[in-house]
Structures are given as structure tokens and as C-alpha cells.
Amino acid sequence: MPIPPPTPNTTVINLETPKKFRPLIGQAHTVAQEVLRPIARKYDVAEHERPKELDFLAAILNGMEDSGATSGAGAAGAGKGEDKPANGNGSDPAATKNGSNLSTALSIMEMCWGDVGLLLSIPGQGLGNSASAAVASPEQLEEFGGRWAAMAITEPEAGSDSASIRTTADLDPGTGEYVLNGEKIYVTSGERAELVVVWATLDRSVGRAAIKSFIVERTNPGMKLDRLEHKLGIRASDTAAFILQDCRVPASALLGSPEVDVKKGFGGVMQTFDNTRPLVAAMAVGCARACLDFTREALDQAGVGIDYDKPALSQSAAAAKFLAMEAEYDAARLLTMQAAWMADNRKPNSVQASIAKAKAGRTGTDVAFGCIELCGAIGVTETELLEKWARDVKILDIFEGTQQIQQLIIARQLLGRTSAQLK
């Protein structure tokens, strides 16, 4: 039976890699292979040491962005999506666009095939950059664009539940400045970044509706570095804890509207996650593929063949397990591309972003440890990078919202329940 053509109001998504992005993907893969992998073990061992080799790479990425030669060359290319469809004149509402969110996700997959921690350590490529791009005004993008921005959400008593943030932002009527007080932990690239996007509440009695994000200069004397964390993985990336004590920022540092809309909740700042969760999913996808590529070579050397023309159950147990992991990887990759594509086309993607993040985070961890099982002794030795990838990928199932939080978000949306009704 032939497949009927789409109706005029139906939008069709093609999940093949767009041709126009293939040069960018090739460049990102070359960087991963020639720049990131050779120094991956060095900076895993030398935790907290700044990878100076990445300064030149950052300059190249910034030059590519500034020249318009490509979009989404690093981890900071995600944006608000396109105002106009692909033809640029708005005449065809059914037209679609492959934009910076998708190209950024695809380039991240390649870079994290090289090293996740080093990607997060490239100057100017912080998650705070994509976070601010989600809600910043054109004036703010002009002022802060191009500078390395970290993101500070988590607190000692507010981890996965972002609505429980206790850091306060009080408006000083005399100066027109906001005064921030509180504590932030697990701030990725917090020590090295130039800016920090800090989440704080304007009024704790109101709840989540009063939570806003502020851009704070890293040199602000009211934001003091408390410590750097020693971690299981992504050791090349610094993870900081800050104390905010009478930290003053201008009113223009508030991202989005200063109005507290109880009906709207904190949807404004939550748009941050619609941008960044697909990027974290892309990191997990890239790391999973690195594990699979390494394991395929190891199986080949051990004489274990993988036949894509035969049923998995008619092959060896090792081959069957590998094929199952590869299928999970493909599902995670396609879900990530879907969430990023929807952002490019200004389609509500909160659910898809959470689905992609949940699927890719879990798949990355499962694939990494599954590959270690198949590789045996070489999977745990420090002479190979597989054991490092397994340590690195675990955080991608945790930050930007844990596996359990993603499932809650998805369930609430599918069941039509509020956060108060379904906890």
C-alpha cells in the first residue's frame, strides 16, 4: 500500500545528516582525532590543570563563527531557533530549516567522540553560552556574546529540583542593582569562564515563578570561589563551588523579563534546558559511539565477526550484544537530532529535549559498561581510553537534570499533570 503524501499542515523531518553540515562534521571529527584524543589522558591525570592546547582551537572556532563560515562549530552555537522558514521570506509555512541547534548537536557528537571533558574546557564553549542564548535580549547578546559563560544552577539543597533554589536576588532601589546571596555548587568551567549564568529567586514566597537567571562577571568581588571538585570523570573540565555574598549586578544582567508571572511559572528560565539538554544528549551520543568504535575493532582483532545481514540471535553472544547496543545508540542519536531540529524550527521541544536527554544519558552509560564487558581486560586498563569514557559518560546522565527528573517531566506532559500532582 503506497504511503499517502503529507497534508499541507504536516511538517516532515528528515533525520539524515544534512549535506550542508557534512564539512563541519568532518572538521569536528578531525579535531577530535588529532587534537583532543592525543591529550585526553594527560588532562585526565592532571586534573584542574588548564589545557593550554585548546586556546588555539578556541580561536579557530571563534573565527569560524565570526566569519559566518559555519554555524555551531562548538558547544555554544545553539540559539533560539529560526524566525523564518528555510526560504527566508516566510511565504511557505511548511518550509523547515536545519539551523545552528542541529549543527551544534552534530558537531558535539564528533567532538565528544574525542573527549567530553576537553570539549567543555574549550574557551568560549560553555553551557552558559547556550543557556543565555535561550532567553537573552539582542542587547544582552551584543554585550555578552562571544565570552565564555558557565552556568550555576545547583545548590547544596537544590539539586535536581531547580524550583527549590534558595539563592536570592534583591533589587536595591537606591542603585537599581540586584544583590545576590547564596551558594552554588557543581558549576562546570566555573573557575575558567569569564561569565557565570546564576539562577536566583526574586521572591522565595512566590515559588518557581520568581526564579530568574543573571549574568555575573567572573571577576565580581561578591562571587567567591570556594573550591574545585575532584571528580570521577570529565577531569579536564574544572567544576567549581561559589559563595555569593552581597554580589551586586546591574539590572541589565537579568536575562528575560523581571516580571514575576505566577501563571507562567518559571518557563522563561526553563527554556534554557530546551537548548542545553539536546546538547548534553549529543555529548552522551558521541561518547557512546567512541566506545562502540573501539569495541568493534577489539572484537575484529579477537576474530568475532558482526554480520548485519543475519539475525542477531544466530550470531555469537558478543556480536548479538554489540548489535543491541548499536541499536540503542541509533535511537539516542535520532532522538537528539529531533529535539535539536525542533528548536531550530521554533517548535515546542521541552518533552523531546527531556526524552533525548533521558535516552542518551542512559544509553551512553549502558553502552560504555557493556563495551567494557565485551572487551574484558583491555576495557579496564589505563593504556586505552575505554575505561576513561565509561567514567566520563556517567555525568551526562546526571547533570542538566537526572534520569529520574527527565522521566518525571515526560510523564507530567504525557499525563497532563502538574509538578504538584505528580512528584
Q: Are residues 284 and 351 in the same domain?
A: yes
pLDDT over 70 at 245, yes or no: yes
**What mean pLDDT do residues 221-247 have?**
97
Q: Are residues 206 and 281 in the same domain?
A: no
| Contact indicator for 268, 136 with CB cutoff of 8 Å | no
Count of domains forming the chain = 3
pLDDT over 70 at 288, yes or no: yes
Amino acid in position 234: I
C-alpha pair distances (Å), 188 with each of 345, 357, 362 = 29, 18, 21
Q: How confident is the model at residue 355, as a pLDDT?
A: 97
How confident is residue 258, by pLDDT bands cut at 50, 70 and 90?
Answer: confident
| Contact indicator for 182, 226 with CB cutoff of 8 Å | no
Q: How confident is the model at residue 138, as a pLDDT?
A: 87
- For the chain, give the percent of residues with pLDDT over 70: 87
**What mean pLDDT do residues 402-423 have?**
91
Q: Are residues 236 and 344 in the same domain?
A: no
Query: Per residue in 166-177, pLDDT tens?
Result: 999 999 999 999
**Residue 7 domain-assigned?**
no
Pick the catalytic residue from 194, 326, 328, 400: 400
Determine phi and psi for 394, rounding to 5 degrees.
Answer: -60, -40
Domain with residue 177: its CATH number is 2.40.110.10
Q: How confident is the model at residue 94, as a pLDDT?
A: 53
Q: Are residues 124 and 178 in the same domain?
A: no
Q: How confident is the model at residue 91, as a pLDDT?
A: 41
- Clarify whether 400 is annotated catalytic: yes
Query: Per residue in 29-55, pLDDT tens?
Result: 999 999 999 999 999 999 999 999 999
Q: Are residues 285 and 231 in the same domain?
A: no
Residue 328 C-alpha cell reads as 540503542
Domain with residue 120: its CATH number is 1.10.540
| Contact indicator for 119, 112 with CB cutoff of 8 Å | yes
Q: Residue 175: which domain range? A: 149-255
Q: How confident is the model at residue 49, as a pLDDT?
A: 95
Q: Are residues 160 and 281 in the same domain?
A: no
Q: How confident is the model at residue 127, as a pLDDT?
A: 79
pLDDT over 80 at 263, yes or no: no
From 255, 282, 317, give the residue that closes a domain: 255
C-alpha pair distances (Å), 136 with each of 76, 231, 258, 350, 420 = 14, 31, 12, 18, 29
**What mean pLDDT do residues 389-400 have?**
96
- For the chain, give the percent of residues with pLDDT over 90: 69
Higher pLDDT: 329 or 88? It is: 329
Q: How confident is the model at residue 126, as a pLDDT?
A: 81
**What mean pLDDT do residues 92-121 have?**
88
Q: How confident is the model at residue 77, as a pLDDT?
A: 61
Q: Are residues 244 and 344 in the same domain?
A: no
Q: How confident is the model at residue 73, as a pLDDT?
A: 52
pLDDT over 90 at 417, yes or no: yes
List of residues 6+ apart from 25 with CB closer than 8 A = 17, 106, 107, 110
Q: Are residues 316 and 410 in the same domain?
A: yes
Query: Per residue in 177-196, pLDDT tens?
Result: 999 999 999 999 999 999 99
Q: How confident is the model at residue 87, as a pLDDT?
A: 40
**Residue 88 domain-assigned?**
no
Query: Per residue in 60-105, pLDDT tens?
Result: 877 666 555 555 555 566 666 654 444 444 445 456 688 889 999 9
pLDDT over 80 at 296, yes or no: yes
Q: How confident is the model at residue 268, as a pLDDT?
A: 60
Q: Are residues 110 and 231 in the same domain?
A: no
Q: How confident is the model at residue 265, as a pLDDT?
A: 57
Q: Are residues 353 and 323 in the same domain?
A: yes
Q: How confident is the model at residue 109, as a pLDDT?
A: 97
| Contact indicator for 409, 351 with CB cutoff of 8 Å | yes
